[in-house]
Structure 1
Amino acid sequence: MWIAQIGSMTEKQITLVCNQCMERCAAGNTWPPDLAEFVALVSESGANPFGLTPDAVMAEYKRWRNESYRFSGSDKYPWPQPVLYHICIEMRRTGVERQMTEKELIKLAEKLLTKWAKHIQNGFSIPPVRRQLAGPKNPGGPTPAELLREEYKRRKKAGLIN
C-alpha cells in the first residue's frame, strides 16, 4: 500500500510531504507516520495534481460565496482552476442541505479534494465549467387541457351539454 501511495506521487509532492515529516520531527513527534497519517499529510500539504490544500479550497469557496452576486452565474466566475468550480458547487449544495458548520465544511473540502485527485489518478479529466442546460420551452398555442375546455364551452353553448 505504501508503494502504491508513494508511486502515484510526483517528485515535488514527495518533497512536500517529506518536509512536513521533518517539521513534525522538529516539533517533537519522532515516531514516523503510519499510512493513514501519511495520506493525511499528503492531503494537507497540497500534494495532489492540483497543488491545492483544503485551506485553499475553503478560501476560494468563501470568496466565491461572497462575490458570486457580481456574476450572472457560477460559470462566469473567474475560477483559478476548473476543479474548484465542481468542488465549490458541491460544497454549497451539501452545506445547505445538511446545514454544515465551518469545521464540517473543511472536512467536506478535504474529502472532495481527495475524490477529484483520485478521479485524475484514475485517468479521468476535469469537466470544463459550463452553464447548465435550460429546460425545454413549452410550444406556443393552447395546451390540450385548454383545447378540451374550449370544446366543452362550445358544446355547452350549443345546448349539447346540460
Structure 2
Amino acid sequence: MNLQLVEAINNRDASAMARMAGGSYQPEKIISSEAEQLVDSLFRQLKQIFPAAVSTSLRSEAEEKTTKRQWIAAFAENGIKTRDQLAAGVRHARASNSDFWPSPGKFISWCKDSSVILGVTVEEVMQEFHRYSRDKGLYTGGAERFPWSKPVMYWIVCDTRRAMYQRQLSEAEVEKYAAKQLDEWSKKVAAGQSIPDPVVSLEVKRDVMPVNDQPTGDDLKMRWMPDARVLGSVTPAQWLYSECQRRKSVGLV
C-alpha cells in the first residue's frame, strides 16, 4: 500500500491526498462516517471470528484505529464499498481454517471471490449447464421458464451455450468461457449491481412446429432436423413427430 496515502489518511490531510491524485482526489469518499461505520461493524465481527487478534494485532485502541484507517484506504483502492461485498468477506472468514487475523489484501480477495459473492462455483455452473441441456425440453416457454437453481445461472448458462454454438467450442473451452462469465458476474455483483430475473423473449418459439394443410413446393422437400439453436424449446421428439405429420400430409410417407 502507498505509505504516503496511508499517512495522509491517518492525518486526514486532504490537500496531500489531492496532490497525489493530481487535484482530483476526494478524501471524503474514503474517510466518511459511513465508511468508518462499515469498518467498525466489520471489525466487531472479525474480533468474534478471530478472538486471538484482540491480544496480538489489536492490543490498543490506537493500534486498532490505525489499522481501521489502513483497511478503509485499502477498500477505497480496490473498489470495496458495499455491505454486500463486506458480507461476502465475512462469510469467507467464518469458513477460514486460520486463527490469524487476515490482512486487508486477503480480506479483499474474499470479498471478490465468486463462490462467496454469488454462492456458485464453476463446477456448479457446468452441472447446471448439462442439466439444462438434458432437461430443457421438459419445460415449455424457453429458457426463461426453466427452474434455474439461481437467477445468475440463467445468464451464465444461456450466454455460454450461445458462445458454444457460435464459436464451435470444445468441452474444455465451454468450461473456460463459463468461468469467465462467472467471474464477470461476480465483479458486477461486487460492484453493487443486482442480478436481473430471466426476461421472456419477445419472440418465443412455439413448442410444436405446425403442419401446413396446404403444402407448397417447399413443403414437398425433405427436411433434416435442425440443431438446438433452431429448435429452441422444441424437443427432438416433438420435431420428429411434427415432421412425420407434415410428410404424411404431403404424401411423402
Question: Where do 1:41-80 residues align within 5 Å?
Answer: 42-43=113-114, 46-48=115-117, 50-72=118-140, 73-80=142-149
- Write out per-residue CA displacement over residues 80-138 of structure 1, whole angstroms, 9 at most, x where no aligned residue: 11110011110000011111112111111111111111111222211111210139xxx
Question: Where do 1:7-86 residues align within 5 Å?
Answer: 8=85, 9-16=88-95, 18-19=96-97, 42-43=113-114, 46-48=115-117, 50-72=118-140, 73-86=142-155
Question: Out of 125, 131, 134, which is 2:203 matched to?
Answer: 134
Q: How many equivalent pairs are there?
A: 115
Rounded to whole Å, the distance in 2 between the matches of 1:86 and 1:132 is 13
TM (norm. structure 2) is 0.40
User: Which residues of structure 2 form unaligned runs of 5+?
Assistant: 2-70, 99-104, 205-253
Identity of aligned residues (%): 30
* Greater relative contact order (CA < 8 Å, ≥ 6 in sequence): 1
Rounded to whole Å, the distance in 1 between the matches of 2:120 and 2:79 is 18
Tell me the CA shift for residue 15 of structure 1.
4.3
Letter in 1 for 2:90: E
Partner of 1:104: 173
Partner of 1:90: 159
- For the Cα contact (< 8 Å) 1:14–1:47, is it kept in 2? no
Question: Helix, strand or coil: the match of 1:10?
Answer: helix
Rounded to whole Å, the distance in 2 between the matches of 1:55 and 1:6 is 27
User: Which residues of structure 1 form unaligned runs of 5+?
Assistant: 23-33, 136-162
TM (norm. structure 1) is 0.60
